[in-house]
């Protein structure tokens, strides 16, 4: 490119945010490059700089049009972590009118850009999320770089919010209602190809000539008017008032949202309102309506809880904020994986997909080779759907070496044992591996409950031993629970965290105790739900109450999926380990009754549920013959309260006993690991949301009605007396 005129004098406060060059004496190329950030993000400095540059373009007679692009590998990654965290902790909140003006600031800038009479083209050189995509949508043309793993999205709904800078309105007007609604209420990023197909971008160009293509479009003397600002404009496919099919679609979507969210998540319905109402309003009125709904959501405790846990805390965990600072980072080049069953195979596939070499060990080369079938099936599915290629698939599989001789583990920097959940079996595997690799190699046991400190006794160097609890399927589930044994060194912990980061997963750190955190947390839910059957509570009512909380599955459904016989085996192992300290729980006798009837769960087609072709066909009628139903059933409200509070109680006990180091880890582990409803922000966010005293009062009421096991833990009672919170009082 040829700079024929000098760039303007940029105010010093903006030079570290956006740069500008003047091309061909008449086109401004605005290059976003926040020097202090790894990625460009929407914060106040970005808003101030963008407003100044838009004003500069509009007021400078020499400038005929502008390109907006980025100097970084991404375009704009979304909102700024620090700004968002400060926002949810802010007290007192400004008055509603002031909050509306504040939230409308980016939307106002973009509307000025859109209606200023000069054409803007966005050269999208990388990932654009949230406000980043909204900036692109306000430009008169969008050209996307042709490169892999370039995604565009408006994921705000996943944080309890909606796109508040014109995202709902411009997507609606570009794609039509029936396309816009799924994109907006799901919040899932789309690939560049899909974005082009949907009409979110206008064209693609090679990455190395993206700016040239953008300038060429400006040279074509395009109209600097958005389609929706023309009198002739009509929304593609019509609206609810002009097309009966669209009216029916919106009614069906609203019913589905109500059913799926159970009223716990306000954001999807708010988005639907923005689309429905915005489709019959002029653009400026629609943007105001969108902003008002955005403010409603920001004031709702649901969004605050979700933002805190799923954005602020998750981002910090992903950046390894809790990693010991001393040890230098040490990536894993070659991973050892012992056990080629489903869990071991899925971990191996996850590691190979991230570029690691994997030695997959099993008792024979034949069984180890079968461990590659997991990856083969996954890749076949991806290739069929166009998400991968045969060449890429073969490259991933070539990184996994199936072996039967433990000597192959000698080349590995880290070894993960993923054999059957049995202390004796795991102990033998750990001893045999230790004989080969000695005590220098990091050794991790994948276990959901077995105490790591005791398993470490089988390793030649317990300081190099750690627990890594993966969740099934390991290549898909986002969380790994890292269990620090009593002798686990900081170096071992740091390198284990480095490995989890390599896998692209979120780590939480817990201290050693049977069940760690996530297993005992979900175990409390299952035990309470199944235990209600012996009280004469209707099983269907129990499952319905779980759905009313937005739990992903009811306790009976989960138990059938896990396998009732496996639950008995786990209890038997716990009894052997704990002896007289073993507490069987309320559900054990009921599970035993079902298993004695030959019902092991979905795997043999019969458990708490009857199954037909793998689908549930109703609760097993035999249950009511053993456990008579009460004539008067408790309310859904009481049942759901029990299911929720037993889990929160278990989280509080985990903190009280020192298993958890922080409420952040507990909230992340509960939501990402075992599906605790994200509208709560996690058990500790939920506790803060209602307040310690109200929580204790609710526990007292449930204890009076249903038993002492529902009593509030000591930590809750103490916090109530002292008016304490786990976080700042942002949920009040």
Task: Write the pLDDT tens digit of every residue in 536-588.
Answer: 999 999 999 999 999 999 999 999 999 998 888 888 878 887 777 778 889 99
Q: Find the catalytic residue in 134, 290, 481, 528.
A: 134
Task: Evaluate the omega torsion of the peptide bond into residue 373 and state whether it is cis, within 30 degrees of 0.
Answer: no
Which tokens hold the place of 614? 């793998």
The mean pLDDT of 25-53, rounded to a whole number, is: 92
Of 156, 290, 543, 664, catalytic: 156
Provide the percentage of residues in the chain whose pLDDT is more than 90.
Answer: 83
Report the candidate in 307, 393, 412 with the shortest Cα–Cα distance to residue 352.
393
Clarify whether 134 is annotated catalytic: yes
**Which pLDDT band holds residue 148 (cuts at 50, 70, 90)?**
confident
Supply the pLDDT for residue 684. Answer: 97
Q: How far apart are CA 517 and CA 496, in angstroms?
A: 18
- The predicted pLDDT at position 3 comes to 47
5 has pLDDT over 60: no
Res. 730: pLDDT tops 90: no
pLDDT at 6: 55
Residue range 480-501: average pLDDT?
96
Distance of CA 582 to CAs 1, 510, 587, Å? Answer: 75, 22, 14
- The CA-atom distances, in angstroms, between 627 and each of 559, 631, 717 are 18, 12, 35
Cα end-to-end span (Å), the chain: 55
Mean of pLDDT over the chain? 92
* Span 389-407, average pLDDT: 93
Between 706 and 585, name the one with better pLDDT.
Answer: 706
Residue 667 has pLDDT above 70, yes or no: yes
Cα–Cα distance list, 47 to 51, 54, 180, 285, 549 (Å) = 6, 11, 26, 22, 38
Name which residue leads in pLDDT, 90 or 291. 291
Active site residue 156: yes
Q: Please provide the CATH number assigned to the domain covering 518-633.
A: 1.10.1040.50
Q: How far is the C-alpha of 666 from the C-alpha of 113, rounded, in Å?
A: 44
Opening angle at CA 656, ends 653 and 660, nearest 5: 85
CATH 3.40.718.10 fits 3-299, yes or no: no
> pLDDT tens digits for 642-657?
999 999 999 999 999 9
Q: What are the distances in angstroms from CA 50 to CA 33, 46, 121, 696?
A: 12, 6, 15, 49
Write a three-state SS string for 181-201: HHHHHHCCCEEHHHHHHHCCC
More confident residue, 21 or 13: 21
The share of the chain scoring above pLDDT 70, in percent, equals 98
pLDDT score of 13: 79
Q: Are residues 502 and 695 in contact, defined by beta-carbon separation less than 8 angstroms?
A: no
Eight-state DSSP code of residue 721: H
Q: Which CATH class is domain 334-513?
A: alpha beta
Domain positions in the chain: 3-299, 334-513, 518-633
CB atoms within 10 A of CB 297: 21
């Amino acid at each position: 490119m040829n700079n024929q005129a000098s760039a303007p004098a940029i105010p010093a406060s903006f030079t570290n945010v956006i740069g500008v060059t003047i091309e061909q004496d008449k086109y401004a190329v605005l290059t976003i490059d926040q020097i202090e950030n790894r990625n460009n993000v929407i914060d106040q400095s970005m808003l101030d700089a963008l407003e100044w540059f838009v004003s500069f373009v509009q007021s400078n007679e020499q400038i005929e049009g502008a390109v907006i692009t980025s100097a970084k590998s991404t375009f704009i990654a979304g909102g700024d972590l620090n700004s968002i965290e400060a926002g949810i902790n802010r007290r007192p909140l400004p008055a509603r009118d002031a909050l509306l003006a504040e939230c409308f600031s980016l939307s106002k800038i973009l509307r000025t850009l859109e209606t200023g009479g000069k054409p803007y083209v966005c050269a999208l050189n990388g990932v654009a999320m949230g406000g980043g995509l909204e900036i692109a949508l306000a430009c008169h043309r969008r050209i996307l770089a042709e490169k892999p793993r370039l995604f565009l999205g408006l994921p705000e709904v996943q944080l309890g919010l909606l796109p508040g800078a014109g995202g709902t309105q411009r997507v609606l007007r570009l794609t039509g209602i029936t396309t816009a609604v799924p994109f907006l209420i799901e919040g899932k990023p789309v690939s560049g190809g899909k974005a082009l197909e949907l009409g979110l971008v206008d064209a693609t160009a090679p990455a190395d000539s993206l700016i040239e293509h953008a300038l060429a479009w400006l040279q074509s003397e395009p109209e600097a008017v958005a389609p929706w600002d023309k009198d002739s404009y009509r929304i593609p496919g019509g609206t609810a008032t002009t097309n009966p099919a669209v009216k029916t679609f919106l009614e069906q979507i609203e019913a589905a949202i109500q059913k799926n969210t159970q009223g716990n998540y306000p954001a999807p319905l708010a988005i639907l309102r923005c689309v429905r109402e915005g489709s019959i309003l002029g653009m400026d009125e629609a943007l105001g309506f969108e902003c008002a709904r955005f403010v409603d959501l920001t004031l709702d405790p649901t969004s605050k809880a979700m933002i805190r846990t799923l954005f602020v805390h998750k981002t910090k965990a992903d950046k390894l904020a809790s990693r010991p600072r001393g040890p230098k980072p040490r990536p894993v080049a070659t991973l050892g994986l012992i056990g080629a069953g489903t869990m071991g195979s899925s971990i191996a596939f996850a590691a190979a997909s991230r570029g690691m070499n994997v030695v997959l060990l099993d008792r024979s080369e034949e069984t180890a080779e079968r461990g590659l079938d997991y990856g083969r099936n996954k890749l076949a599915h991806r290739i069929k759907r166009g998400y991968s290629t045969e060449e890429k698939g073969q490259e991933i599989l070539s990184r996994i070496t199936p072996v039967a001789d433990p000597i192959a583990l000698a080349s590995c920097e880290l070894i993960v044992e993923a054999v059957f959940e049995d202390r004796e079996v795991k102990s033998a595997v750990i001893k045999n591996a230790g004989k080969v690799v000695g005590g220098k190699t990091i050794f991790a046991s994948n276990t959901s409950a077995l105490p790591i400190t005791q398993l470490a006794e089988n390793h030649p160097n317990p300081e190099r031993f750690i627990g890594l609890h993966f969740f099934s399927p390991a290549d898909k589930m986002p969380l790994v629970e890292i269990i620090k044994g009593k002798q686990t060194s900081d170096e071992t912990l740091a390198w284990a965290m480095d490995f989890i980061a390599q896998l692209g997963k979120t780590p939480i750190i817990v201290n050693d105790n049977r069940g760690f955190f996530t297993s005992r947390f979900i175990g409390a839910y299952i035990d309470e739900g199944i235990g209600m059957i012996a009280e004469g509570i209707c099983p269907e009512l129990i499952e319905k109450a779980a759905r009313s909380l937005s739990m992903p599955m009811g306790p009976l459904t989960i138990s059938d999926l896990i396998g009732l016989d496996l639950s008995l085996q786990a209890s038997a192992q716990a009894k052997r380990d704990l002896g007289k300290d073993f507490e069987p729980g309320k559900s054990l006798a009921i599970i035993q009754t079902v298993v004695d009837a030959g019902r092991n769960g979905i795997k043999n087609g019969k458990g708490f549920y009857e199954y037909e072709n793998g689908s549930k066909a109703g609760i097993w009628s035999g249950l009511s013959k053993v456990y008579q139903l009460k004539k008067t059933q408790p309310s859904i409200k009481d049942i759901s309260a029990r299911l929720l509070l037993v889990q929160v109680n278990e989280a509080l006990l985990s903190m009280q006993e020192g298993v958890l180091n922080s409420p952040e880890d507990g909230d992340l582990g509960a939501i990402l690991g075992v599906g605790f409803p994200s509208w709560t922000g996690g058990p500790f966010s939920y506790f803060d949301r209602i307040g310690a005293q109200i929580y204790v009062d609710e526990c007292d009421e449930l204890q009076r009605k249903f038993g002492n096991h529902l009593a509030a833990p000591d930590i809750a009672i103490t916090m109530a007396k002292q008016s304490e919170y786990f976080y700042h009082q942002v949920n009040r």
